[in-house]
Amino acid sequence: MSNYELMVIFTPVLSEEDFKASQKKYQDMIASFGGATVHSNPWGLKSLAYPIQKKTTGIYWVLEYSGPTDLNEKLKIQILRDEQIMRHMITKLDKYAVEYNHVKRNGGFAVKQKMEA
């Protein structure tokens, strides 16, 4: 059960409840494939650094989950089939990443030393 992080960019024309519905759809799909979602973090509408499919804004969604190794392939097929999604990226999280995300979520990083330069 290794940890993964999925970041998805939806088309900006997506309405709010469609956005929620597809979030729910993918979370249930992960659960049905035997994974468990750790944390879902919708960023909402953000402007892109460069236009994707002639669109300059996109709805971002970051989902952290853990699952068996074959889960990502099944998930990728579903994501590629869904045309509301412009771009997605699945990254594998090592133990430092998981700890980083955990600390960032609750409490963030106490500024012990001011980072100069």
Partner 1 sequence: MAKNEIKYLTAIKQEKPKKKFCRFKKYGIKYVDYKDIEFLKKFINEQGKLLPRRLSGNSLKYQRKVQDAVKKARQMSLLPFVTDLLK
What is the contact surface with partner 1 in residues (CB under 8 A)?
7, 9, 48-50, 52, 58, 62, 87, 89, 91, 94, 96-97, 99-101, 104, 113, 115, 117
Smallest gap from Cβ 34 to partner 1, in A, equals 26
Nearest residue (CB) to partner 1, 29 versus 90: 90
Q: How far is the CB of 66 from partner 1 (least distance, A)?
A: 17
Helix or strand or coil: residue 76? helix
User: Tokens for 35?
Assistant: 């994974």
Q: Write out the two tokens for 85.
A: 């999604």
Q: Which is nearer to partner 1, 31 or 89 (CB)?
A: 89
**For residues 17 and 116, which CB has a smaller minimum distance to partner 1 in the complex?**
116
User: What's the closest the beta carbon of residue 32 comes to partner 1, in angstroms?
Assistant: 26
* 55-67 β-sheet, strand order: 36-52, 55-67, 2-10, 85-93
CB contact set of 38 (below 8 Å; sequence gap of 6+): 3, 64, 65, 66
One-letter identity of residue 95: K
Which residue, 32 or 56, is less far from partner 1 as judged by CB? Answer: 56
